[in-house]
Amino acid sequence: MAVSCNENWQAGRNVLDCNKYMLDNHLYCDVKFRVGKKGNSMRAHKYVLASRSSVFAAMFYGCFQETSDVIIISDIEPDVFDILLRFIYYENGEVSTDTVIGTLYAAEKYGVTKLVDLCRAFLESNISEGTVCDIMENARFFNMTDLHAKCLKFIFQSSCYARNVFKSAGFIRCSRDGIESIIKDDKLPLEEEIIYQSLIRWAEHRCKKERAGSPNPVQIRKALGSLIFHVRFPLMSLESFWKDAGENEILSAEEKSQISRLIAGNIVKNTVFVTTPRLGKGSVISITRAMFPCGMSTYGEFRYTDAIDFKVNKPIFLQGLQMYGSASVPYKYDIEVDILSKTKTVLSHLPMKTITESTQIFHINLDHPCKILPNQMYTVCVKMKGPRRYSGSYLDHVVHDGYTFKFYARDKSLSLINLNSGEIAGLMCYL
């Protein structure tokens, strides 16, 4: 762009504004780059680049300075190189989920440490169940040990988070070292069954990338390698082990025999399987508001809706409900569950399903744990059909390890039951 000698474009602009103007309008540029796979042409100023980057300073003014008129940068795409230039010129750090990893690579390559810090902060603020595996992989690649530690801390904070991470698409994209750093840790709050099933899914994905068709057990075992020994099979029940791992050929007959003996409590010398419980393994806590069953309902089959409001002083994950059953065992109930927010938005819905039990109180598990925020009102609504059942006498609040649960009668539109009666005996939660 040609600029008239009489044009005073510098007037009223500070140094960053002037840098931006010169970059945007390609004024007085003295270096040209061919950027990305397509070799897009981009121009800049040697002095500005060298003033912010030791790598560019060495390139333009060092002992082995670049002599070519055009500098080829094929490993960085134009949109990312543009972000790098704009940060160097006037500290504009607009990164997104699509550009942050490329920008981090460019910032590391050219030693722009403030942009590295900005990318790291962006990644930290965007850690979620769906992104944490990808962020952790990049933290390992760029040797960001603090960011990697924060990713692990996020995964280990609750069973619910860990379960969702292991089910995510990002999990199967993890490297072997990345997977190992998670599953070998004592603080991983997951059942071994879920760890094993997720590892199989990860191994199958790797096999399918290498060859077409469904992988066989031999290929899966080869893909798993030593990772299989980080699954703490001896912590499973014998029934669960044979259901999940014993019916296929991924483990050898000798390994299955050894694990079975360990589960049964026998001493097995020189075993490669870890028997130490995971310190961080979360468990479901029952918050029981029922003091004792106070009687039996009417005879015969019934259709019934029960609802209760509750709130808690700290965040939890609602995993399920405790419900009163029938004295006539075994019994069956058709049950549908809704968890609603204060605005009656459905946060979790369990479609009508049949429950067969033979205990005074039985449990209903939600398909996905429901996040409950502190000091907000929530409603549990249960629709039931089945035989005569117990009812209960209830507490209006329950305190457990610093968590205070308060229960309230639901409005009459959903339930004819008051606070001191009904079928909902309690809540099942991850604290």
> H-helix or E-strand containing 108?
helix 100-109
- In the chain, where does the domain assigned CATH 2.60.120.820 lie? 285-430
pLDDT of residue 32: 96
- Kindly state the DSSP code that residue 147 receives in the 8-state scheme: H
Q: Which residues sit opposite 307 in a β-bridge?
A: 381
pLDDT of residue 278: 80
The whole-angstrom separation of Cα 98 and Cα 103 is: 10
Architecture of domain 285-430: Sandwich (2.60)
- Kindly state the DSSP code that residue 410 receives in the 8-state scheme: P
The whole-angstrom separation of Cα 154 and Cα 317 is: 15
Q: At 378, give phi and psi (nearest 5°).
A: -130, 155
pTM (2 decimals)? 0.64
Q: Pinpoint the alpha helices (H) of 187-294.
A: 192-210, 217-224, 238-241, 253-263
The whole-angstrom separation of Cα 316 and Cα 71 is: 55
The whole-angstrom separation of Cα 153 and Cα 147 is: 10
pLDDT of residue 316: 85
* Residue range 319-336, pLDDT digits in tens: 899 988 887 788 889 999
pLDDT of residue 413: 40
Beta strands 390-394; 346-357: pairing state: unpaired
Burial 215-231 (b: 16+ CB within 10 A, else e): beeebbbebbeebbbbb
CATH number of 157-263: 1.25.40
- In the chain, where does the domain assigned CATH 3.30.710.10 lie? 15-125
Query: How many CA atoms lie less than 13 Å away from 219 in the CB half-sphere?
Result: 16
- In the chain, where does the domain assigned CATH 1.25.40 lie? 157-263
Q: Pinpoint the alpha helices (H) of 284-330.
A: none
356 residue type, one letter: T
* Residue range 238-254, pLDDT digits in tens: 888 998 887 788 999 99
pLDDT of residue 111: 95
* Residues of the chain where predicted confidence (pLDDT) is lower than 70: 1-6, 279-283, 292-301, 391-392, 411-421, 431
3-state secondary structure of 360: coil
8 A C-beta contact, residue 425 and residue 324: yes
pLDDT of residue 6: 56
CATH number of 15-125: 3.30.710.10
CA distance from start to end of the chain: 63
The whole-angstrom separation of Cα 286 and Cα 316 is: 12
Q: Is 206 exposed, middle or buried (0-12, 13-18, 19+ CB in 10 A)?
A: middle
pLDDT of residue 392: 66
3-state helix, strand and coil shares in percent for the chain, rounded to the nearest 5: 35, 25, 35
